[in-house]
Amino acid sequence: MNIITELAKWAIPFILFFVPVYAYFRKVPVYETFVEGAENGFKTAVKIIPFLVGMLVSIRVFVDSGALEILTDILRPFFLVVGLDPDILTIIPLAIMRPLSGSGALGVATQLIHQFGPDSFIGRLASTLQGSTDTTFFVLAVYFGSVGIKKYRYALKVGLLADVVGLLVSIWIVTKVFG
Amino acid sequence: MVNLIWLIMLAFGILISTVRGNVSQVTESALKAAELGVEVAIELIGVMSLWLGIMHIAEKAGLVQSLAKLFGPIIKKLFPSLKPDSKAFGPIIMNLCANMLGLGNAATPFGLKAMQELQKENPNPDVASPAMITFLALNTSCITIIPATIIGVRMKAGSVNPTEIIGTTIFATACAMTTAVCADYIFRKRDRL
């Protein structure tokens, strides 16, 4: 087994072991302290429900309508102009989906990986892209919503700019390394 | 901008479904998504309680403070508007660490906690503070060392080498994160309230 997958497997058990044991030796009443902290879990989770529902409804209606394919068709000429391999175009739906919905993007990526094979160029590109950008739009809506922020100012611009760079760099590096 | 994007996705989706003669799809999608929103939140209650509990122990034991001290020099440069002893540093660092390790469901509780701490220091509770924007820029573009989920997907799909994309992922996220930090810095200078 690879070191990295082992590390991923051990991370949570290690934290759950190390933190309470260390704290116990520092004379922290571990169980009571845990309960005290956990109390806020419910409040915060419930508070983000309106933002989750609002975002998920809009995103789901958009995606299920087939709008993603239309958007892909609109964007196709731009990608061709930049001189990208037509193969790479199959990645566009994933690139659009990534900032919107985590589970949606994972679905698209999984489908691409199975369709083209995990060790194909598209499979590797989809994997890299899935691992390297985040659901920016969704995260902003939920995080800001949870504390009542209404004006995001330049937050969305910064996040989406990073996503675009992440996409372009992913294409470049995967071509370079595996191309 | 969020209002506009939200409206465009919703209205555009409904229009396309209508044009394609598939109006009933809209109803189904909307209701399903609404249900999903609550499901996600309910699931989050448990994970959220678990990690907030562990974090509270870590705080009392002085572990969060040690972590903050370790990353302090870098993180304080990134958040010049926060006081050096700000309570937000702990959860911010824990969130970024969880993100790097690909522990998505541990990252969210720390992230929401960080937002609460940042909001306490925000003079204008309706408007995002520069520190919040910097935090979200880092959070959404954070370097991923272990993209655990996608490695799992690749394994199931029968990849010869499921972890071979780790290098490219680290490189791509490093570039995205650098971009986020620079863009945040530039926009912050331009957009003073």
- Domain span at B119: 62-190
pLDDT value of position B53: 93
Assess whether A165 and A83 both reside in one domain.
yes
Q: What is the DSSP letter of A151?
A: B
Of the listed ranges A91-95, A146-150, B115-119, the least confidently predicted one is A91-95
pLDDT > 70 fraction of chain A, expressed in percent and rounded? 95
Assess whether A98 and A144 both reside in one domain.
yes
Q: What is the DSSP letter of B18?
A: H
- Going by C-alpha positions, the residue among A134, A67, A141, A84 that lies closest to residue A105 is A134
Assess whether A120 and A163 both reside in one domain.
yes
Give domain status of residue B118, yes or no.
yes
ipTM, 2 decimals?
A: 0.88
A151 strand-pairing partners: B127
- Domain span at A16: 1-43
Amino acid at B103: L
A98-136 pLDDT, tens digit each? 888 887 888 889 999 999 999 999 999 999 998 877 888
Assess whether A22 and A81 both reside in one domain.
no
Q: Which of residues 109-168 of A touch B (CB under 8 A)?
A: 109-110, 113-114, 117-119, 123-124, 127-137, 139-141, 143-144, 146-159, 161-163, 165-166
Any CB–CB contact under 8 A between B86 and chain A?
A: no
B56-102 pLDDT, tens digit each? 999 899 998 888 888 888 888 899 999 888 889 999 999 998 888 77
A158–B187 CB contact, under 8 Å: yes
* Contact list, B101 vs chain A (CB under 8 Å): 7-8, 11
B162–A118 CB contact, under 8 Å: yes
Alpha helices (runs of H) in A48-154, residue ranges in sequence order: 49-64, 67-81, 92-97, 102-116, 121-132, 136-146
pLDDT value of position B193: 54
Give domain status of residue B77, yes or no.
yes
Tokens, residue A107: 């679905």
Q: How many helices (H) and strands (E) does chain B have?
A: 8, 0
What is the number of domains present in chain B?
1
A14-29 pLDDT, tens digit each? 989 999 999 999 999 9
pLDDT value of position A1: 45
* Contact list, A66 vs chain B (CB under 8 Å): 16-17, 20
Assess whether A12 and A66 both reside in one domain.
no
Assess whether A2 and A56 both reside in one domain.
no
